[in-house]
Amino acid sequence: NNINLFDQSDADKWEPHAAPVLDRIATIQAAHERGIETWVSLEPTIDPDQALQLIRILNPIVKHWKVGKLNYHNTGKPVDWLHFRKDVKSLLDSLGANYYIKKSLTLLKE
């Protein structure tokens, strides 16, 4: 499942024809309740704060995370991707989560 924004108004702007955020969360929950191992792709991460919020909320029902950064587009606000990489790894590690950080984040130089 691809979900990368928690705020519906932001999702409407960036993914105008995608299913509503709450519907995507409900789908992940329903799969989990049926014993289906779920995974979520947080790529492209558009808003790092919302991505971290989604991880905190969904981690109990998500088996695996894939995280990458937004490339080729400007969100209108600066993003410190190195800081996000540190934060997302720290959060996922603290939760004992299974995850993969995509090259778009791992290749960033400090």
Secondary structure (3-state) at 39? strand
> What confidence score (pLDDT) does residue 1 get?
61
| pLDDT less than 70: residues of the chain | 1-2
CA dist list (Å): 18 to 11, 44, 55, 99, 106: 8, 14, 20, 24, 28
- State how far the Cα of 77 lies from the Cα of 69, in Å rounded to an integer: 14
Closest listed residue to residue 48, CA positions, set 8, 79, 15, 7: 79
pLDDT of residue 60: 96
Residue 98 has φ and ψ, to the nearest 5°, of -90, 125
Q: Which pLDDT score is estimated for 87?
A: 97
pLDDT at 35: 97
pLDDT tens per residue across span 25-48: 999 999 999 999 999 999 889 899
